[in-house]
Homo-oligomer: A and B are copies of this chain.
Amino acid sequence: MYIGLDIGGHKINSVLMKGNKIIRKRRTATKSTSNKKIIIAQIFDCVEHLIKDLDLPCFGLPRGKAGETGKSKIRGIGIGAPGPIDLKRGVVLCPPNVKALAGLPLADLVQKKFKTKVILDNDVNCFGIAEGILGAGKGKQNIIGLTLGTGVGGCLILRGKLFYGRDGSASEIGHMVIKKDGWKCSCGNKGCLETYVSARGIIRIAKEIGCRGAIPTEIMRLAKKDNKKALKVYQITGEYLGIGLANLVNILNPDIIIIGGGIANAGELLFNPARKVMRKNILSPLAKNTRIVRAKLGEDAGAIGAALLIKS
C-alpha cells in the first residue's frame, strides 16, 4: 500500500492506494500557507487519518500478523508539492503559493515521523505520472503533461520514466520563449508560453481586445454563449498554445500530450485553434497527428501520482 499527498495553496489531497486502486481518500482545506508548524501538523494528520484502523477487516485488507499495525503495511509516502524542489535532499525550495514550505526538509520530517520511505516531487510531475500510468496516457511511453492554471506547469515522461534532466529542472515548459520580444512574463523575460496560455495570459488578452470578461471562468462562460470577443480570446490563446505544442512535438515527438488545469476546462474552445496551429507547425508528416487530450483523473491526479512515485 502507498500513500500519496498533494499539497497545494488551497487544498491538501491525500490518498491511500493498494496497487492502482484508491482505498481511502481525503481532501482538506490548507489551514495555513505561511505557518510551518500548522502545515506540518496538518500533513501528519492527513497521513494518520489514512492509516487509522488499517488492520480492521472491514477494509477488505488481510488482517495484520501479530504485532503488525496498519502503518507497517505502508510501503511509503509520496508527496507532491509546488516546485521548485531539491529532489535529492527532499526539500521544497521556494513555492510562491505555500511559503510555509520554503526550505523545509519535508521528506525527512515525514520519514522520521512515520518510519517509512518518503519521496518528494513537484506537483506537476505527480499529475503527469498519474495521468501517464492510470489516466489519459495509460500504456504510452513518451508523454508530455501540461497544467494550465495561474502559470503553466510541465512534466515529461520519456521511455516510460519521469525525465528530470541534470539538476531536476527539466520540463519548465511554461518558460519556453515562443515570441521573442513579446509580452513580459512573471519570470522577468519576454514572450514565454506562460505569458499567453495561463489565467494571467487570458486576462491580458481579454483586456487587450476589449472583452468584458475579467477572469477566465467569466470569459469562458461568455464564449460558451457565443460572445464574439470571448471566442476571440480563446482563438488567440489557442494559437499560442498551438505554437508551444508544435515546438514540443518537433523536439520530443511524444505519443501524447495531456493537458490539465483550470484553463483546460475551456475544452475545444481552446484546443480547436491550438490543434490547427500545432498541425501546421509540426515538421514531420508522421507526427502531425500527435494526440492532444484533456486530463482524465481530475483533482485527485496529484495525490495519486504522489502515491505512484513510491510504487514505481
Contact = CB atoms under 8 A, between A and B. Distances in A.
Interface of A: 84, 141-142, 154, 156, 158-159, 163-173, 175-182, 187, 189, 191, 240, 243, 246-248, 250-255, 280-281, 283-284, 286-287, 290
Given A156-B251, A170-B251, A179-B180, 8 more contacts: A142-B166, A168-B253, A172-B250, A172-B284, A177-B281, A180-B191, A187-B283, A251-B251
A181 to B, nearest CB: 8
Contacts of A142: 165-166
30 contacts: A84-B284, A141-B166, A142-B166, A154-B251, A156-B252, A159-B159, A159-B163, A163-B252, A164-B253, A165-B252, A165-B253, A166-B287, A167-B253, A167-B286, A168-B286, A169-B253, A169-B287, A171-B253, A172-B251, A172-B253, A175-B250, A175-B281, A176-B250, A177-B281, A178-B178, A179-B180, A180-B182, A180-B240, A180-B243, A247-B247
Contacts of A159: 158-159, 163
Contacts of A163: 158-159, 252
Contacts of A243: 177, 180
A284 B167 contact: yes
Contacts of A290: 166
Given A177-B246, A180-B240, A243-B177, A166 B281 contact: no
A204 B253 CA distance: 30
